[in-house]
Structure 1
């Protein structure tokens, strides 16, 4: 009966999207090791063959889930890094959205999942890093390279600048995300904006042309 209800829930939704949505819930709640393809197939409804036709392995399914989440994340932030906007405004907008995003429950759960599971399943850490932090760093580095060419900031290694800026944004929330400590003021909109404003100010002073 439960399987039938889940199937009705996903009626009219693309089968691949339904699988990805249910797989995300399984991975975040149970972890990589405890999630099985059979359990996901049972929840979504249909045969295991249908699931395997879309995703030939659990690793492939996990990669698709992460890339789907990361794709939504990166699209927003690519739009925020508008090369036509004043760099201080663009970085403040980027930083505020970034900090709010990484403390969302799903993102915190995903971060901890990658940290815990990567020691037993190195592919988990690799998939998470490539789709998330590495891609974010490359996109931001590209933005900084353009800003350096326009002499908005000093000419330095753009990848190092991107790493420096992103790690600064993550610093205060890292303990909360890693150890599941309550957010406190870190989840407050005004607190985030104040933190990001200070980080952007320090960054632009450090990279002043």
Structure 2
């Protein structure tokens, strides 16, 4: 995939009309990819829904994989918007981890987020490794890095005793996802109160092991 092609239709430098056109294409791409999967998704079907020309799509995104990458990035930017608000972070690890966990759980339990996970896990084309790498960078790795920065600050200021904040961030995220998230991915019904219980217990276990 050529990132030089992607840059031709990045948000920077686009007019309001250009931004609207780009958003329409990405929204249509999300619908089609989530409905049909990457392999079965049709570029022509996407453009029928979005309106516009195939030339515009290829100029902006390069190819179908480039379009998927841009769609995932846009979707994750939308989902991560709430994490960029400073009020989620405080000097109290217990309340911060709880608020962080609430937003994270809300984000990954949405039907479109579940569908995105399934799309990535079911990819079976030659681009499978690239699709998974794009998803990991845009989503799971991004959330881990956000929490790592916070934990490192708390460690530096003596509030938490952690050997490796990168590992600790990943461990906390995985702890509050289970077991309900795997059930959601597999379509297995689960108690709707389970995510909240997983979060509260996860925060307690994490702080019991890291509080200085």
| TM-score grouping bracket, smaller chain normalisation | 0.7 to 0.9
Single out whichever of 80-89 and 47-56 deviates more from structure 2: 80-89
Identify the match of residue 200 of structure 2 among 175, 197, 201: 197
**CA-to-aligned-CA distance 1:72-95 (integer Å, 9 cap, x gap):** 222312436744341111110111
Q: 2:177 & 2:87 partners in 1: Cα distance?
A: 18
The residue that corresponds to 2:24 in the other structure is 18
CA RMSD of aligned residues (A): 2.1
The residue that corresponds to 1:7 in the other structure is none
The 3-state SS of whatever aligns with 1:42 is: helix
What's the CA shift for 1:138?
1.1
Matches within 5 A, 1:41-190: 41-79=47-85, 82-117=88-123, 120=126, 121-182=128-189, 184-186=190-192, 188=193
What's the CA shift for 1:98?
1.1
| Number of residue pairs aligned between Structure 1 and Structure 2 | 195
**CA-to-aligned-CA distance 1:6-27 (integer Å, 9 cap, x gap):** xxxxx99810000000000011
The 3-state SS of whatever aligns with 1:181 is: coil
After TM superposition, the score normalised by the length of structure 1 is 0.85
The residue that corresponds to 1:29 in the other structure is 35
- List gaps (5 residues or longer) in structure 1: 1-10
Q: 2:79 & 2:26 partners in 1: Cα distance?
A: 16
Query: Contact (CA 8 Å) 2:90, 2:96: kept in 1 or not?
Result: no
Q: 2:19 & 2:74 partners in 1: Cα distance?
A: 16
The residue that corresponds to 1:8 in the other structure is none
Q: 1:204 & 1:128 partners in 2: Cα distance?
A: 29
After TM superposition, the score normalised by the length of structure 2 is 0.84
